[in-house]
Structure 1
Amino acid sequence: MTVSVPPVPRYVPAPTATEQLDYADLPIVDLSKINTPEGKAELATTVRDAMKDKGFFYVINHGLTPEQNERIFNVANVPLDQVSDEEKMKFDGKLQQTGSYQGYKPRQYWHVDNGVRDQIEHYNMNKDLHRKGHPNALQPYLPELEEFIKYNHFNILHPLLRLLALGMNIDEETFIPLHNFDRVGETFLRFMKYHPRSEDDEAKTKNVWLKGHTDFGTVSILWSQPVVALQILCPDEKWRYVNYIPNALVINAGDALEFLTGGFYRATIHRVVQPPESQRGYPRLGVFYFGMPDDDVKLSPLPDAPEWVDRRFKNEEAPTMGDYRKGRIIAYGNSETKKVDGKETVEVQMIGNVLVKHYN
């Protein structure tokens, strides 16, 4: 990124957790290897196996320095801590009405469990930053945020999509035309902060801050941060923590990738829980880039995709990305779910023709 940058207040993150925790054993992908044919072939196998076996993996050597990483977290804190509540209301995303993540999601918007509402705030920006206005405090940083979005899109998302295609032995460009930068779609950058909760809320929700769920796009990119709270549901049905690797990325698959690949890659179930004792009382600031196909892309298996392993819907009933995205956003945390399979921890709801599960 070559944009000149104005000064920004420094965000001081939580200290690294000191506890010995049950961490998921996740592969580490060195993205710099993609620049040679041999390296790309090796990475394609690694990424395929990681996404199929674990559903999550780390990416290192993505091209941005630790200093640039620190800078983006400093900027991420601006719309969350440097904007008044009154101004935030002007940029309220009104998720339930719009079915779009653009603007603010205020705290206590979603129901978590037993009457407890969330303490999560985020500010979301479409890949086209000019589609909506932004708070005054964020205006000086828009040029570098535009560069950061493009970097995530073309230098991280697209290379990973190519590796995922190669892992299926299909043309490496297969997913690229579905993820255009200049077409109508909801690929977006998110700045997100989890605020500490009361002990009463922790008890009522069994320490769950965000229920187990799958993302609804293709590839989710999380810029690693030190607060240990993200867990994934492993194949042995145990929840394990995702560890912190400085200046790394945490990558996972979403529903759209599962639908487009006929189940070859599966959307990964994950949740957020109360951090360990050494990090309690600290907020958890996150930076995400959520990749999604263009709104008009039909989420049925691509011609080269293998047969469905677990058919979620008939091909002719496949929603477009736009319809599925709107349904998921409008319904999440604000609509009724039903317990299934005799499991108190599994809830389901229908989004169009798709059965969506939530895990607690």
Structure 2
Amino acid sequence: MPSISPQCARYVPPPPTSENLDFIDLPVIDLAKAQTPEGRAEIYPQVRDAFQTYGFVYGINHGYTPAQRDRIFDISDVPFTTVSPEELKDYAADIEKAGHYQGYKSRRFWKIDSESATADQIEMYSINMDVNKREHPPTLQPFLPEIDAFAQLNHFNILHPILRLLALSLELPEEAFVDLHKFRAAGQTAISFMKYHARSIEEEEKTKDVWMKGHTDIGSISILWSQPVGGLQVMSEGKWKWVRHIDNAVVIDTGDTMEFLSGGFFKPTVHRVVQPPRDQRPTNRLGVFYFGMPDDSVRLVPLAQSPVLERVGIERRFEDADAPTMDAWRTARTRSYGLVDLKKSEEKGVEEEIVTGIVVKHYN
């Protein structure tokens, strides 16, 4: 007999905004072409140039149908709507001690504005790529087979193809980055469900409508499943530009770890989240992410054997001998993000912290 999918409430987002916003024109990558050597040879120059120019791209034809996409958004709201606040405490992520987000993160955990002591209004539930690595609330457990299938699709249909295209961009063997991102290895690559709750007028005024200040991601490749509620902005040529919703597309960006591994060839993308456009307020914003990270034991040194890096040179944020492992970098950045007091930089609108000897910038 066919299996019966567990039931959950439907998540129905509002229509895309009709406001005239300053959208960034991001390249669109056909991920179906990345499944063959011939296709990868055709599109890797486009991917190389896109990540060097924008740091963000759209991905389409990833193998997930619109119905499947709708279903994973339905599932993503389950931890926040079916589990009581008291029960969620039993599944809280040990962020400050363990240095990872596996489990539940409550609202008002991160500092958004130090001067006014304004905190975030974001709930997050993160699940390791190995979905059985830790316990989950009973109401979420029936959905784990679907979440596991979703993790595998992100890993093998999106993350690995993008990593192969980046390796080709550096004239490296196709599996150079893939070999550092094994599925179900000792690592913290994860699915994250994030619910951005609408805030009070007072909070919006204190933070100038910023819900998550400008930052770069910790890992190598981040995958955001596009959804209609606006708020994501990218720093481009010194200006914040909105990211447009494309139905059933993913938005892909590079993080700090890819900068380290590529010797500065691919820079991490500065982005932030702000209050949604006026015609989508006061809607809660539900996000589904896949945060790709190398295996914990990988040392974050440039792949200096790249012929491209031999020609253009390597930009180092630290000496190779001082390079942290992925585990050390992730742990240190996670423990500090939104929890430590930042220092004002000489750059206008920038605050800084030092993580494992590396300057990490935050943008207001």
Is contact 2:263-2:304 (8 Å) kept?
Answer: no
Shift of 1:308: 5.2
Which SS does the other structure have where 2:332 is aligned? helix
Shift of 1:184: 0.7
The aligned residue for residue 259 of structure 2 is: 258
Is contact 2:258-2:266 (8 Å) kept?
Answer: yes
Which SS does the other structure have where 2:331 is aligned? helix
The aligned residue for residue 270 of structure 1 is: 271
The aligned residue for residue 244 of structure 1 is: 245
The aligned residue for residue 280 of structure 1 is: 281
Q: What are the ranges of 5 or more consecutive residues in structure 2 without an aligned counterpart? A: none
How far apart, in 1, do the equivalents of 2:179 and 2:20 lie?
Answer: 44
Which SS does the other structure have where 1:162 is aligned? helix
AA aligned to 2:50 is A
Q: What are the ranges of 5 or more consecutive residues in structure 1 without an aligned counterpart? A: none
Is contact 1:44-1:166 (8 Å) kept?
Answer: yes
AA aligned to 2:86 is E
Is contact 1:29-1:57 (8 Å) kept?
Answer: yes
Shift of 1:138: 0.4
Is 1:129 matched up with 2:134? Answer: no
Please list the CA deviations of residues 64-114 of structure 1 after superposition, one character each: whole Å capped at 9, or x if unmatched.
Answer: 100000000000010111111011110010311210110011000011012
Is contact 2:60-2:249 (8 Å) kept?
Answer: yes
The runs of 4+ residues in structure 1 deviating greater than 3 Å are 35-38, 307-310
How far apart, in 1, do the equivalents of 2:182 and 2:251 lie?
Answer: 22
Shift of 1:266: 0.7
Which SS does the other structure have where 2:75 is aligned? helix
Please list the CA deviations of residues 250-307 of structure 1 after superposition, one character each: whole Å capped at 9, or x if unmatched.
Answer: 0000000000010011110000011110011000000000000011100110132416
How far apart, in 2, do the equivalents of 1:176 and 1:315 lie?
Answer: 21
Per the normalisation by structure 1, the TM-score is: 0.96
Shift of 1:181: 1.2
AA aligned to 1:262 is G
Equivalent runs, 1:1-360 vs 2, <5 Å = 5-113=5-113, 114-234=116-236, 236-305=237-306, 306=309, 310-343=315-348, 345-360=349-364
Which SS does the other structure have where 2:156 is aligned? helix
Please list the CA deviations of residues 304-329 of structure 1 after superposition, one character each: whole Å capped at 9, or x if unmatched.
Answer: 24165543111111111000000111
How far apart, in 2, do the equivalents of 1:167 and 1:161 lie?
Answer: 10
Moved more, 28-37 or 59-68: 28-37
Which SS does the other structure have where 2:257 is aligned? helix
Shift of 1:36: 4.1
* Cα 1:308/1:268, change in 2 over 3 Å: farther
Please list the CA deviations of residues 130-180 of structure 1 after superposition, one character each: whole Å capped at 9, or x if unmatched.
Answer: 111001110110111111111111111111100111111111110111111
Please list the CA deviations of residues 236-261 of structure 1 after superposition, one character each: whole Å capped at 9, or x if unmatched.
Answer: 20000000001000000000000001
Which SS does the other structure have where 2:301 is aligned? coil
Moved more, 89-98 or 290-299: 89-98
Is contact 1:318-1:353 (8 Å) kept?
Answer: no
Is contact 1:52-1:266 (8 Å) kept?
Answer: yes
How far apart, in 1, do the equivalents of 2:4 and 2:253 lie?
Answer: 32
Per the normalisation by structure 2, the TM-score is: 0.95
Which SS does the other structure have where 1:131 is aligned? coil
Shift of 1:14: 2.2
* Cα 1:330/1:35, change in 2 over 3 Å: closer
Instruction: Give RMSD over aligned pairs.
Output: 1.3
Which SS does the other structure have where 1:129 is aligned? coil
How far apart, in 2, do the equivalents of 1:188 and 1:52 lie?
Answer: 25
How far apart, in 2, do the equivalents of 1:131 and 1:253 lie?
Answer: 26
AA aligned to 2:360 is V
Shift of 1:37: 3.8
Please list the CA deviations of residues 17-71 of structure 1 after superposition, one character each: whole Å capped at 9, or x if unmatched.
Answer: 1101000110001111224443221221111111111100000111110000000
AA aligned to 2:18 is T
* Cα 1:342/1:262, change in 2 over 3 Å: closer
